[in-house]
Chains A and B, each alone.
Chain A
């Protein structure tokens, strides 16, 4: 009975995320080969999976399994860093908007509406293309295009919070805004922020993979799952394994954060 209780969305999600983090941290120990060097000199002709190379080798003779293991590092770094940028912008705008209200709220929310009407992928592509792809460019750009939903949720929660008695009371006693936000608002909106953070990470992972797929990801030879799929598309008939495994890796990473996020969300609403 106890064990069944333990298997919930969030615990499964957390376990999957843990595995991902472990793989990323210990990549050099887990990967059978260096992901950038030639292990099977069959250039231009990808090698099928064998016992030695369980996921095959790519057109440059590199081990696909090792590349996927190392790819976890880049994906997690970009996913988490982009999530952090997204959350920082979103929370700052949401808090200010909800707490101060009035003109501040109006201006910030109209700006949010404006950003919402821009297509995020196109915007991210355009920014990365002109700013030249690098790790930093990518997570900043992803953050810049995806904070709007966070801002709206945080604003709504803050608005609700700041009308509560204890906040109104503290304000009446002359507590400064900074203190009110830090002491009363933030702790109370924190749970929803955690949920949003998990869900956002899955979105940023997808966006990062999409950018890499379009050739706008972290420059090679850093293995990135999205780019591996892009490089594999021309072999989709002759070497289908090349595109299959990195896609499964992205799917796994995104699903793990989604399970975590929805699990929390469901618990919260129950």
Chain B
């Protein structure tokens, strides 16, 4: 005789109850914000989480957007320009040979926990970056400070080249002249960091940041929301105007647009490509946009050590064979045709540079001279990103009529970088470079010099003449002379065509009519100290 089985209805019920209880027991969505009723709050959104708030770690636009709000540096850029202006340092001077830099700090700056900011906090910030245990991406910018190597090798508890004679003075002694050193101190890497807090949290500092900036971290729910509120101790009273910045996470471009359209978001930093033509055609929307040509160059690098790009004629042929206007059309007009290495907005940019025009006949002639009239086959590597792939396919289409067959190799970011840095491995690659500081050295020195082989000069280009000019230009502090030397070097590079200069990206921001004093900076993310909102529907 069989035992009585459990009723089937009970099993079904059990399954359902379990599943439903499970679904709703966990709650749904983030908790309410709990801000005062009339708080002035700017609402932003992004697809992914902010990578980090730790100034030593972050090296991307999103992290910097919030690091800039939370932390202060000695000097900073103006809201809409790339001129250095005071942040915590009220005045600064450098020795004529550009090896010693002295900064005088304001006395009324305080961290969001109330403690006064001193020169020690800046020394600690930089030493933290230079300490190998921090694994900071910003190390290289401060290696030029005297004694940095000894500090990194733990032979000295401090960087000997950083002097803090009193609480409001900090002096940097460099091993070699560096006229652009002050710009390196405007990067968030060089923020004032409260030692006690940073050491208490270690690698978790990112979640418990304390800085002296206009805002402070209130709440960060991973994958959902980041909330900054005003720092009551901020030195520049009555700034900031905003009471809070709320960034919702998990909202992709297209959805950001829909929410903006519904008035639920106050600004969108990247208008989705699909909506862009519509925005530009609609005057009411168009006047809400802000455009900036970023200090960025996008290029197709050709490996000068690998066939067929050892031949300058082939490199020039490719430069003539690619229709840059088509690339920009694919980007819905969000780019400027590139003529050289340096982008507009970069001091030292030469607007009269000739570059290469789209000229398939000339390309064909150059290929004939190089005995490649029947074309050839080669590989283009790129990171697996939708926009880059789209552009690469357009390039592929342009080259096909010349008999040139481009094979596309989309790979993940890490393997991509590794591969292109290997000598004689990657024939050509799609890359871009964004300025870290407004100086030609940051393009020509960082990307074109022989010293950067295996690092950022991935086309393995080298020309003794260019090397000499770069070496000559680097220590020159007289800007006019400096830019002239770099300009000379760039002209040679353009003639040698190690890259196909593609375009300088333009980004468009759109903000609601009630958002005021929202300014975009060509090189850095927008700052929020001066932004304010007029009354608006929710």
Chain A contact residues, CB within 8 Å of chain B: 36-38, 43-45, 59-60, 129-130, 132-133, 215-216, 219-221, 230-231, 233-239
Contact = CB atoms under 8 A, between A and B. Distances in A.
Contact of B274 (A36, A132, A235): A235
B206 to A, nearest CB: 25
A47 B83 CA distance: 45
A35 B397 CA distance: 11
A38 B275 CA distance: 22
Given A130-B415, A132-B415, A238-B275, A44 B410 contact: no
A215 B410 CA distance: 9
Residue with the greatest number of chain B CB neighbours at <10 A, chosen from A133, A219, A238: A219
A182 B275 CA distance: 62
Contacts of A230: 386
Nearest to B406: A221
A198 to B, nearest CB: 31
Interface of B: 253-254, 258, 272-275, 277-278, 326, 329-332, 384-386, 389-390, 392-394, 396-397, 400, 407-412, 415
A133 B277 contact: no
B410 A43 contact: no
A224 to B, nearest CB: 12
Contacts of A44: 273, 277, 329-332
A130 B412 contact: yes
Residue with the greatest number of chain B CB neighbours at <10 A, chosen from A37, A38, A216, A237: A237
A234 B272 contact: yes
Nearest to B386: A231
Residue with the greatest number of chain B CB neighbours at <10 A, chosen from A36, A37, A43, A239: A43
A238 B277 CA distance: 11
Contacts of A132: 409, 411, 415
B388 to A, nearest CB: 11
25 contacts: A37-B397, A44-B277, A44-B331, A44-B332, A45-B332, A59-B390, A60-B330, A60-B393, A129-B412, A130-B415, A132-B411, A215-B384, A215-B386, A215-B389, A221-B393, A221-B397, A231-B386, A233-B254, A234-B254, A234-B273, A234-B274, A234-B386, A237-B258, A237-B274, A238-B278
A219 B409 contact: yes
Contact of B392 (A220, A235, A237): A220
A239 B272 CA distance: 13
Contact of A234 (B253, B258, B331, B392): B253
A133 B381 CA distance: 12
Contact of A236 (B254, B386, B394, B396): B254
A43 B407 contact: no
A130 B413 CA distance: 10
Nearest to B416: A132
Nearest to B272: A234
B409 A238 contact: no
A220 B393 contact: yes
A238 B274 contact: yes
A235 B273 CA distance: 8
Contacts of A38: 397
Residue with the greatest number of chain B CB neighbours at <10 A, chosen from A38, A43, A44: A44
A221 B254 contact: no
A184 B519 CA distance: 79
A221 to B, nearest CB: 5
Contact of B330 (A36, A43, A236): A43
Contacts of B389: 215, 220
A209 to B, nearest CB: 16
A60 B327 CA distance: 10
B408 A239 contact: no
A231 B400 contact: no
A219 B275 contact: no
Contacts of A231: 386, 390
A239 B254 CA distance: 13
B331 A36 contact: no
Contacts of A45: 277, 332
Given A37-B397, A60-B330, A220-B393, 19 more contacts: A37-B400, A43-B326, A43-B330, A44-B330, A44-B331, A45-B277, A60-B390, A129-B411, A129-B415, A130-B415, A215-B385, A215-B410, A219-B408, A234-B253, A234-B272, A234-B273, A236-B254, A237-B254, A237-B275
A127 to B, nearest CB: 12
Nearest to B325: A43
A133 B410 contact: yes
A6 to B, nearest CB: 38
Contacts of B274: 234-239
Given A234-B254, A234-B273, A239-B274, A216 B384 contact: yes
B394 A60 contact: yes
Nearest to A132: B411
A59 to B, nearest CB: 7
A239 B278 CA distance: 13
Contacts of B273: 44, 59, 234
Contacts of B278: 238
A75 to B, nearest CB: 19
A220 B412 contact: no
B408 A221 contact: yes
Contacts of B272: 234
B329 A36 contact: no
Contacts of B396: 36, 220-221
Given A230-B386, A238-B278, A220 B330 contact: no
B143 to A, nearest CB: 31
Contacts of B397: 36-38, 60, 221
B410 A219 contact: yes
A43 B254 contact: no
Nearest to A45: B277
A221 B278 CA distance: 28
B103 to A, nearest CB: 45
Contacts of B326: 43
